[in-house]
Structure 1
Amino acid sequence: MDDQNKNLILATALSFLVILVWFVLFPPPEPTTTPEQAEISASEGNEVQTPSAGSTTVGEATATAEETLPEATAPRIQIDTPRLSGSLSLSGGRIDELFLKDYKVSIDEGAPIVELLSPVGSNSAYYALYGWAPGAGLAGSDVPGPNTNWTLEQGETLSVDSPITLKWENGAGLTFRRTIGVDADYMFTVTQSVENGTGAEVGMAPYGILARHGIGEDGDLPGLKNFFILHEGVIGMADGTLSEVDYGDVRDFDIDPNERAQAEVYQVKENGWIGFTDHYWMTTLIPDPGSAFKAAAKYDARRKIYQAETVLPTMTVAPGESAEVTTRLFAGAKEWETIREYQAQGVQKFIDSIDWGWFFFLTKPIFWLLHNINALIGNMGWSIIGLTLIIKAILFPLAFKSYVSMAKMKELQPQMEALKEAAGDDRQKMQQGMMELYKKEKVNPAAGCLPILMQIPIFFSLYKVIFVTIELRQAPWFGPFRDLSAPDPTSIINFFGWLPWAGPEPGTLMATIFIGILPLLLGISMWLQQKLNPAPTDATQAMIFAWMPWVFMFMLGSFASGLVVYWIANNTITFTQQYLIMRSQGYTPDVFGNIKSGFKKTPKTDKK
């Protein structure tokens, strides 16, 4: 077998091996956090502690979950914006019901819209609450907590440019207000204020809590992908350092009901945020830029509640004076443009809340390019093909050198055969002769591997982009291809999309066997690309070489259809480039001859 085919087989096998290693054997390790560990404290001499999400008394976690449920009959304030709907409860002033109007749970007709937040008592309670942690001289009952019954002082429905104000008086001279506003996308603004009419100086620290109630014995959350290339759990930024903690690891930060809360705690000096992120959705507590605060991630094993919280420094309020603090809450979809705009407004490195992965230096520009192409074309399927053309154009100088080298190798084939005959069984002599020939003719036998090897990080990066970005979620192409982030829905069972019923359920054995039209086209495109070169003369190598396109076809059949579209386009462009470049160098690949010879039986070699 000639060196060109050896190199191609080696490169293809290596690509296949790397894919398997990457996706099966070596999942990316979780990012390490390097926060400064600190106690839950504020200004000197005023020690405070935030409550558990299910606790009625600050500093104590003794009440049961049933005892701390907000009143089911408590009045609710409606939330209605162009992109959000829901309500907040006057019991605790909790933002605990939120729907995303622009997103449905599936592409099925009549599918409900996505529910992001839900109140206590639902299947998967998930909510944001705010309050004040008491300083020296104050008790938990003196400040508003998770279940305080607020009254509506101003406003009716929370909407864009129409904030609401809640009011609560503790009966001992302190008056608290909470003003909540929301923009046209997913950002809430929460202003907490206190008026001191007690005649004595008081100190307290404002806090915000995001709480998620788990289900099952281990506090598992419903709807998680639990896929190793995707981060789901706590995500935070502390002065430029990104922290990611999976839900399973958050359970190590168990709250001891008899002691102070044990948690992952760190101090933020100037800029930061913390929250929960899922595949496409996120909630994030965001103190004002330039503000110091404490951030923490906790887990209450007894109540199965995950918590992410922010505590600002203790505010000392003199008699007759007032104080207020404003923070923000992001609750919505992880849209690139929206998050980038919030970052431009001062939320430090907010774009990193999208899981760009190890190859972020490739995934970020690839997504940027794909996003802008789609803005021009308006169809993500054709945009992926356009992206492929641009990537191939960028790599064209490398591909040109590679295919020129391959053409020269073909021209040297008669001389190489002569060297083999002259060397006989002396492999060392044959290798020395070939190296001299390569040097004389200025040919690099390894050059043919480079385009294939360059595709590996690009393939991984595009896979990441298609898998994690919401812009690819339920993105249609044409006909039956209504979701490019999902596997090909066509199959011989539904006559490749022509019949009005679904194919096999993705991930099942039937779906693996009865693959769709896109994986079939992928296998054919890889097979045709092989036919630019004659089959290896060695029978075993020829068999491996012949089976490789079909192995990839079935292996990639369960991948996102958008990724398969990219691979088909890449193979088609590569075939065209290689054919034309090799012809320009005086060698015309005999594609039809190689196809014809591939159907002939390989003659048996004589046994010695």
Structure 2
Amino acid sequence: MDDQNKNLLIATALSFAVILGWFVLFPPPEPTLDPETALPTATEAQAPTVATTPEAAPANQPAATQTGATEVADAPRVPIETGRLTGSISLAGGRLDDLSLKDYRVTRADDADIVRLLNPVGSANPYYALFGWAPGGGLTLDDVPSVLTDWTLETGETLTHDSPITLRWDSPAGATFRRTIAVDEDFMFTVTQSVENTGDAALTLAPYGLIARHGEPVELKNFFILHEGVVAMADGTLAEIDYDDMTDFAVVPSEGAQAEVTQVTESGWIGFTDHYWMTSVIPENGTAFRQVAKYNAASNIYQTEAVQPTVTIAPGQTQEVATQLFAGAKEWETIREYQNRGVDRFIDSIDWGWFFFLTKPIFWLLHNLNLLIGNMGWAIIGLTLIIKAILFPLAYKSYVSMAKMKELQPQMEKIKERAGEDRQKLQQEMMELYKKEKVNPASGCLPILLQIPIFFSLYKVIFVTLELRHAPWLGPFQDLSAPDPTSIFNFFGLLPWAAPTPGSLLALVFIGILPLLLGISMWLQQKLNPAPTDPTQAMIFAWMPWVFMFMLGGFASGLVVYWIANNTITFTQQYLIMRSQGYKPDVFGNIKSSLSRSSKTGQK
């Protein structure tokens, strides 16, 4: 096997070694319980654990209350109607449990249903947000609003971005509870809770906001490259907890639940993230609160909470607290704007992965190219051109070195003949030749090493970010986040039926246009290098383009577009640089020298 092909194999092995080493040295943080704040004591105020059956409550603790599917379904509702959202708020508990996103559809079909984010109890997949006050200091559950409290609409008729609503409930303990709900033009709700103490005794309560999800999402991807589950920020530290990991938390026997508790001192948020959508409770900056991720095994309910410090309200006084709730699409620009307004590191709610130092700038560049060009497919090709331009100095040195190595090929063959089976002599004479001719045989490794993390980062960007969802390019390629929809089976999109389902046996055989172009571009690029002298190695390299062609057939088409563009640009660069060094590459044969010096060297 010649040195160039050795370099390629070494570079590939080193690339995977680097990635493996990164995972070993910098593993994702495991969620751990803080022993000082792990679980609240029986005397602390707690947010209620939502359950499907009533449970007895220990002394001084709120009971796990019954959600009451019938009561929630029959309760009056207040409509939500903005430019981007539609839904309603149930007056049973004042819960935000019906919300759909007008700008997004389940599929690309014009008549497809819009994406529904939140669902009420009694539906197939209940998912909702609740706010309230946990009792303390001798108060009972009857003294505070519960998850089934019948609220009265005090002001407003429909919640819009410029018309908030206010709910009211009068407590038997002599307090008036109000809840004002506002929403902006995007996806951020502001819930302002107030308690007016009209009684004779002081009230001790703790405000909370929680998000409950009954069971795992129906569309749970369960893919290693994507995080789905709890996402939380606590004083600058990001935590991501998968659904299956929530069952590993310490058991809370009194509630039949498992919980992960973190004490936040200044800023943070907590909620659930899906592939493209998210809900998060966000207390005001500068407010300490207890951040809880909880799983109720008995009712199969996942729950996140933000419980703020207990307050004491004297007779005649009013206490007010405002909490934000994000419920919507993980749009980069929208989330970045909320971060600029004070939501700490909110942009990290998007799953950038361990290579965030690459995925973030790559997405930023891709996003801005898309804004400039107006087409995500051409933006990917533009991104490829920019990446190749940045790496060009390294690539130039690599291709120049490769050209020099080809020039030295005849001398290297003579050294191999003289050394025979003496490997030590062979290596010594080769090193002397490299030193004499000032050639570095390993110089071709670095561009390949850099390409691998860039490729993985772009794969992450294309798979995870919402901006690639249903992003069209041209012709039949109308969703760059999905695999190539063309196939020999449907005559590359000309016949009116779908290609075989990705992952099926037919999909492996009947590949589409993009995988074919990928295989051809890899084959052309490979032809710039002579075949290895070893027959086994030659066979492996000959089959490599076609193996990759079938392997990547089920990948997101945007990623395959990037790889085709990368191969095409690499081929063009290498071809022109090798010609500039005096070689005329013949892609259908071996590289032929046009220098007489080369011919003379070969005759010696």
TM bin (shorter chain): over 0.9
1:176 aligned counterpart, secondary structure: strand
The CA deviation string for residues 308-365 of structure 1, in whole angstroms up to 9 with x for no partner, is: 0011111111111111000100001111111111001111011111111110000000
Equivalent residue, structure 2, for 1:202: 203
The question of whether the paired residues in 1 share the 8 Å contact of 2:47 and 2:62 is answered with no
- Residue 7 in structure 1 maps to residue 7 in structure 2: yes
- Residue 583 in structure 1 maps to residue 579 in structure 2: yes
1:71 aligned counterpart, secondary structure: helix
Alpha-carbon distance, 1:262 to partner: 4.5
- Residue 345 in structure 1 maps to residue 341 in structure 2: yes
CA–CA distance in structure 2, aligned partners of residues 71 and 27 of structure 1: 50
Aligned length: 585
The question of whether the paired residues in 2 share the 8 Å contact of 1:35 and 1:267 is answered with no
The CA deviation string for residues 532-556 of structure 1, in whole angstroms up to 9 with x for no partner, is: 1222222211111100111111111
Unpaired stretches in structure 1, ≥5 consecutive residues: 215-219, 597-608
Alpha-carbon distance, 1:172 to partner: 3.3
The question of whether the paired residues in 1 share the 8 Å contact of 2:258 and 2:296 is answered with no
Equivalent residue, structure 2, for 1:235: 231
Equivalent residue, structure 2, for 1:600: none
Q: Residue 426 and residue 292 in structure 1: after superposition, are their counterparts in 2 closer, same or farther (change >3 A)? A: same
The CA deviation string for residues 222-249 of structure 1, in whole angstroms up to 9 with x for no partner, is: 1100011111111111111111111111
Which one-letter code corresponds to 1:32 in the other structure? E
1:205 aligned counterpart, secondary structure: strand
Equivalent residue, structure 2, for 1:32: 30
CA–CA distance in structure 2, aligned partners of residues 127 and 511 of structure 1: 39
CA–CA distance in structure 1, aligned partners of residues 229 and 26 of structure 2: 16
- Residue 379 in structure 1 maps to residue 380 in structure 2: no
Alpha-carbon distance, 1:507 to partner: 1.6
Equivalent residue, structure 2, for 1:447: 443
1:419 aligned counterpart, secondary structure: helix
Equivalent residue, structure 2, for 1:212: 213
CA–CA distance in structure 1, aligned partners of residues 551 and 318 of structure 2: 65
Alpha-carbon distance, 1:69 to partner: 5.4
CA–CA distance in structure 1, aligned partners of residues 39 and 176 of structure 2: 25
The CA deviation string for residues 280-318 of structure 1, in whole angstroms up to 9 with x for no partner, is: 111000000110111101111111111000111111111
CA–CA distance in structure 2, aligned partners of residues 19 and 81 of structure 1: 49
CA–CA distance in structure 1, aligned partners of residues 108 and 26 of structure 2: 31
Which one-letter code corresponds to 1:31 in the other structure? P
The CA deviation string for residues 433-480 of structure 1, in whole angstroms up to 9 with x for no partner, is: 111010011101111222222110001100000011000111111111
CA–CA distance in structure 2, aligned partners of residues 94 and 493 of structure 1: 50
The question of whether the paired residues in 1 share the 8 Å contact of 2:584 and 2:591 is answered with no
Equivalent in 218, 222, 227 of residue 218 of structure 2 = 222
Equivalent residue, structure 2, for 1:557: 553
The question of whether the paired residues in 1 share the 8 Å contact of 2:276 and 2:330 is answered with yes
Q: Residue 595 and residue 482 in structure 1: after superposition, are their counterparts in 2 closer, same or farther (change >3 A)? A: farther
2:72 aligned counterpart, secondary structure: coil
Equivalent in 47, 51, 70 of residue 44 of structure 2 = 47
Q: Residue 426 and residue 548 in structure 1: after superposition, are their counterparts in 2 closer, same or farther (change >3 A)? A: same
Equivalent residue, structure 2, for 1:547: 543
Which one-letter code corresponds to 1:203 in the other structure? T
CA–CA distance in structure 1, aligned partners of residues 543 and 371 of structure 2: 40
The CA deviation string for residues 67-115 of structure 1, in whole angstroms up to 9 with x for no partner, is: 5654322110110111111001000000000001111111134211111
The question of whether the paired residues in 2 share the 8 Å contact of 1:235 and 1:242 is answered with yes
CA–CA distance in structure 2, aligned partners of residues 433 and 253 of structure 1: 62
CA–CA distance in structure 1, aligned partners of residues 255 and 49 of structure 2: 12
Alpha-carbon distance, 1:147 to partner: 0.7
Which one-letter code corresponds to 1:346 in the other structure? G
Q: Residue 8 and residue 41 in structure 1: after superposition, are their counterparts in 2 closer, same or farther (change >3 A)? A: closer
- Residue 83 in structure 1 maps to residue 81 in structure 2: no
Equivalent residue, structure 1, for 2:297: 301
Larger displacement relative to structure 2 (49-58 or 318-327): 49-58
CA–CA distance in structure 2, aligned partners of residues 167 and 587 of structure 1: 83
Equivalent residue, structure 2, for 1:604: none
CA–CA distance in structure 2, aligned partners of residues 18 and 61 of structure 1: 53
CA–CA distance in structure 2, aligned partners of residues 556 and 189 of structure 1: 45
Q: Residue 202 and residue 41 in structure 1: after superposition, are their counterparts in 2 closer, same or farther (change >3 A)? A: farther
2:398 aligned counterpart, secondary structure: helix
Larger displacement relative to structure 2 (105-114 or 378-387): 105-114
Which one-letter code corresponds to 2:198 in the other structure? G
Paired residues for 1:351-500 under 5 Å: 351-500=347-496
Which one-letter code corresponds to 1:311 in the other structure? V
Alpha-carbon distance, 1:254 to partner: 7.2
Q: Residue 413 and residue 135 in structure 1: after superposition, are their counterparts in 2 closer, same or farther (change >3 A)? A: same
CA–CA distance in structure 2, aligned partners of residues 435 and 18 of structure 1: 25
1:119 aligned counterpart, secondary structure: coil
2:583 aligned counterpart, secondary structure: coil
The question of whether the paired residues in 1 share the 8 Å contact of 2:50 and 2:64 is answered with no
The question of whether the paired residues in 1 share the 8 Å contact of 2:227 and 2:240 is answered with yes
Q: Residue 266 and residue 62 in structure 1: after superposition, are their counterparts in 2 closer, same or farther (change >3 A)? A: closer
Which one-letter code corresponds to 1:83 in the other structure? R
- Residue 571 in structure 1 maps to residue 570 in structure 2: no
Equivalent residue, structure 1, for 2:194: 193
The question of whether the paired residues in 1 share the 8 Å contact of 2:279 and 2:327 is answered with yes
The CA deviation string for residues 479-498 of structure 1, in whole angstroms up to 9 with x for no partner, is: 11111011111000111112
Alpha-carbon distance, 1:3 to partner: 1.4
Which one-letter code corresponds to 1:470 in the other structure? L
The CA deviation string for residues 103-133 of structure 1, in whole angstroms up to 9 with x for no partner, is: 1111134211111000001111000011110
The question of whether the paired residues in 2 share the 8 Å contact of 1:380 and 1:472 is answered with yes
Equivalent residue, structure 2, for 1:160: 161
Equivalent in 581, 588, 601 of residue 592 of structure 1 = 588
Which one-letter code corresponds to 1:81 in the other structure? T
| RMSD, matched Cα | 2.4
2:588 aligned counterpart, secondary structure: helix
Q: Residue 21 and residue 237 in structure 1: after superposition, are their counterparts in 2 closer, same or farther (change >3 A)? A: closer
- TM-score when normalising by structure 2: 0.92
Alpha-carbon distance, 1:391 to partner: 0.2
The question of whether the paired residues in 2 share the 8 Å contact of 1:521 and 1:568 is answered with yes
- Residue 327 in structure 1 maps to residue 323 in structure 2: yes
CA–CA distance in structure 2, aligned partners of residues 64 and 73 of structure 1: 15
The question of whether the paired residues in 1 share the 8 Å contact of 2:280 and 2:326 is answered with yes
CA–CA distance in structure 1, aligned partners of residues 47 and 217 of structure 2: 24
Which one-letter code corresponds to 1:6 in the other structure? K
CA–CA distance in structure 1, aligned partners of residues 257 and 552 of structure 2: 47
Unpaired stretches in structure 2, ≥5 consecutive residues: 593-604
CA–CA distance in structure 2, aligned partners of residues 40 and 318 of structure 1: 28
Q: Residue 116 and residue 205 in structure 1: after superposition, are their counterparts in 2 closer, same or farther (change >3 A)? A: same
Identity %: 71
1:332 aligned counterpart, secondary structure: strand
Alpha-carbon distance, 1:62 to partner: 5.9
Equivalent residue, structure 2, for 1:103: 104
CA–CA distance in structure 1, aligned partners of residues 307 and 229 of structure 2: 20
1:593 aligned counterpart, secondary structure: coil
1:296 aligned counterpart, secondary structure: strand
Larger displacement relative to structure 2 (367-376 or 250-259): 250-259
Paired residues for 1:304-315 under 5 Å: 304-315=300-311
2:293 aligned counterpart, secondary structure: strand
CA–CA distance in structure 2, aligned partners of residues 61 and 196 of structure 1: 23
1:383 aligned counterpart, secondary structure: helix
1:440 aligned counterpart, secondary structure: helix
The CA deviation string for residues 177-229 of structure 1, in whole angstroms up to 9 with x for no partner, is: 00000000000000000110111111101111100001xxxxx4311000111
Alpha-carbon distance, 1:418 to partner: 2.3
Q: Residue 442 and residue 426 in structure 1: after superposition, are their counterparts in 2 closer, same or farther (change >3 A)? A: same
The question of whether the paired residues in 2 share the 8 Å contact of 1:477 and 1:483 is answered with yes
CA–CA distance in structure 2, aligned partners of residues 170 and 547 of structure 1: 76
Q: Residue 433 and residue 40 in structure 1: after superposition, are their counterparts in 2 closer, same or farther (change >3 A)? A: closer
Equivalent residue, structure 2, for 1:336: 332
1:528 aligned counterpart, secondary structure: helix
